[in-house]
Structure 1
């Protein structure tokens, strides 16, 4: 216990220390939200990866999908690396950096408002982002607290509150630069931690070969006479597995807290290096998490009060027999993964609400000159006021998500499915197509917002007749034909406006 407490305390002191170190760069809006658009490839790549993978993956998804699909759940981690990281950087990295800098966009709702010449889109997008980032944040709290309960015997409620307060401290003090620097430190812990935990768990089962052999003799849930499904290449339910791969991989390209990382990177050469770093990180962390979860059936499941398996307790059950030093490492691993994701979520939510709802500055198009001159002193005061409001909203967002986390309505995986389904279902298609295709219309973006949020909410209110995971995947993929068809049928945007926006790709 002394080892666990000491390591955790040192870790938390470093996190807060980085926030204090970065506080000078967080005095302006660009500094607080984007780190001055001068964050290097290593920090950006690790910020992307650590925001991607949190306790939701390590505890919730690895446990639930490892139980359902066995070793084939490793494909989810491979999909996260190839689609969610490599493809995301290749398709979005350069174009997002250039266009958002060209139109002076700081948030995803701000992008929609300027790119499609509609302040209404900007407002609605900010509301969607704020509302549906909350269940994701609650899922992260739930995952991290489950591990803390196991490692320290601290009640769940105390864990949730402590983690929320500590994350808020370094984000409020240091903004995005502090978050990125802490993400790098946390990412290193995650890389070493996941490898060490996998080795320890496999050794406890007699090694890799012995563990796979044990899985191969387990009967299928659907047919007790069929063995070997959980040790096969594509598992007992390949189509269900594909839905999870789509949701957890494609979704990153439509999430505000993920895409925002491309806004802040220094230049195009940094994007190339960041692509490689981020992909390698995802292979190790995501692949390792799901590979580990694939052996969950070798351990006795915890049965919840309703008689069903408590999926969120599967990974903790696998780890409870480890040595104290390894449990301390696991706690730091999950703490690192979760605090980085929490920091990204609360920063994204507060900046979106501040810049896109409270202070909706009218912006000129690239190349246009605004009327009049703004007094430098007045401008500085306004910038300072915006940063203060963002810091206040960070506290507000954390309090709301805490209320949900203290009484979570469902499993972690379902919380994330609802959040990712609505956000990426609404944002993915219009954002990606808006970077490449001049023909995307304002009406088509509205249609996709209605499609993504509407499908998710209706499914949820109807009692989830479609599994939230599958519903999220359908929402994301369905957004592309929605935007394409509606764009062909609706009035085109002003050609001059679109040409000015796409000038950023001419050089």
Structure 2
């Protein structure tokens, strides 16, 4: 216990210390929200990765999908690395960095407002962001509480409050730069921790081959009659597994807290470096989480999934580890959760301040007041999410993965297609954006309240979210082709940043032979 508590105190001290160290670098709105657009590739890549993976993935997704699909769940990790990281950086990174600076937009709703010349679009995007980031944030606390209860036997509410307060302190003090530096530290902890945990868990089963052999002998007639299906390449249910891969991978393209990382990176050249780092980070962390979860059925004698839920699987797998390794695991998941929480509260509070309050209520608000409002809303947002997390925990409303699925599905479904087409296609219209916004919000809200009326495949929030994202990619261009064309000057002004002429000084003027003749 002394080792666990000591490691936690050191971790908390470092996080808070970084926050106060960065306080001077958060003196204005741009510095507080985007780090002055001067964040290096390593910090940006780790900030992207740690915001991507939290207790939701480590405890919720790894446990649930590892149990359902066996070792095939690792496809979700592969998709996270290739589609959610590599391709996201290649397709979105450079163009996002250039156009957002050109349009002077600090948030995704602000981008929509200026790219399409629509105040109503900006306000709608702000409302969607604030509304659907809350269930995602509440889900972060839930996964963390399971591990704290296992390691320290601490009440859930205490875990939630400690994590919320400490995260709020360093975000309020240092803004984006503090979160980026802490994300780097937390990312290193996550890499070391996941490798150590996988080694320990497989070691307890006699090694990788022995564990795989034991998994091949597990059968569940309720899932599949195929022998060895949980150790197979595609698992017992490849169709639903594909939905998981799409939502957790393609979804990052439309999440405000993820895309905002591209706004802050230092330069185009830094994006190339960040692409490699981010992909490798995702391969290790996401791949490791789902790989670990794939062996969950070997611990079926330690957990009653029907009574305790999927969220109890990973804690049951870890409960027999040495105390030192459990302390590492707790800090690993704490790192993942705090980094994601800091990203969420910063994205939500800055969006509500810059895109809603300043726009609607106080258009003349100066920088100091905007900073005070952003910091105040960070407190409000954290408080709301804490209350919802405690209510959800005590009423057992749903699983972690389902909470995250609703949030990701609504946000990514609403924003992915309009943002992607807005960066690349001049023909994208406001009507196309509205169609994507309304379709995804309506579908995901309906999935919560009348999900039983959906087709069997879409009753899962995971599949419904993936459906919304793919539908948006079709809806936006189709609606755009049959609605009023965007203002020509507005579009050309936005895209002029990609064709900017650069003049350089020529030191020598040696003409060709043809020119001399």
Task: Please state which band the TM-score falls in when normalised by the shorter chain.
Answer: over 0.9
* Structure 1, gaps ≥5 residues long: 363-377
> Paired residue for 2:498, among 482, 490, 505?
505
- 1:144, CA displacement in angstroms? 1.1
Q: Give runs of aligned pairs for residues 65-84 of structure 1, distance below 5 A.
A: 65-84=65-84
Q: Which moved more, 1:146-155 or 1:45-54?
A: 146-155
Counterpart CA distance in 2 for 1:224 and 1:244 is: 19
Q: In 2, are the aligned partners of 1:139 and 1:405 still within 8 Å (CA)?
A: yes
The 5 Å alignment of 1:10-409 reads 10-222=10-222, 225-299=225-299, 300=301, 302-303=303-304, 307-308=306-307, 310-360=309-359, 382-408=366-392, 409=397
CA distance in 1, matches of 2:101, 2:436: 25
Q: Per-residue CA shift, 1:175-232, capped at 9, x if unaligned? A: 0000000000000000000000000000000111110011001113436643201000
The Cα shift of 1:404 comes to: 1.2
Question: Aligned partners of 1:64 and 1:442: how far apart in 2?
Answer: 39
* CA RMSD, 1 decimal: 1.4
Query: Is the 8 Å Cα contact of residues 55 and 144 (structure 1) preserved in structure 2?
Result: yes
d(CA) in 2 for partners of 1:449, 1:223: 36
Q: Post-superposition, which runs of at least 4 consecutive aligned residues in structure 1 deviate over 4 A? A: none
TM superposition shift of 1:145? 1.3
Q: Does 1:450 align with 2:450?
A: no
Rounded to whole Å, the distance in 2 between the matches of 1:482 and 1:224 is 37
Please state how far the C-alpha of 1:494 moved relative to its aligned partner. 0.8
Q: Give the SS at the match of 1:360.
A: helix
Between the aligned partners of 1:30 and 1:309, the Cα distance in structure 2 is 45
Match of 1:368 in 2: none
Shift in Å, 1:103? 0.4
Structure 1 residue 407: Cα displacement: 2.0
Count of matched residue positions in the alignment of Structure 1 and Structure 2: 489
Give TM-score scaled by structure 2 length.
0.93
Partner of 1:441: 429
Residues 12-62 of structure 1 show CA distances to partners (whole Å, capped at 9, x for unaligned) of 000000000000111100010000000000000000000000000000000
Measured against aligned partners, the alpha-carbon deviations of 1:146-176 in whole angstroms (never above 9, x if no partner) come to: 1111111111111011101110000000000
Cα distance per residue 1:76-114 (max 9 Å; x no partner): 000000000000000000000000000000000000000
Give the C-alpha shift of residue 117 in structure 1: 0.5
Distance, in Å, in 1 between the alignment partners of 2:302 and 2:125 is 41
Q: Output one character per residue of 1:433-484: Cα deviation in whole Å (capped at 9) or x when no partner.
A: 1000000001111111001111101121103541111001001111011101
Paired residue for 1:489?
482
Instruction: Indicate conservation of the 8 Å contact 1:220/1:229, yes or no.
Output: no
3-state DSSP of counterpart to 2:186: helix
Query: Quick one: distance in 2 between partners of 1:84 and 1:424?
Result: 12
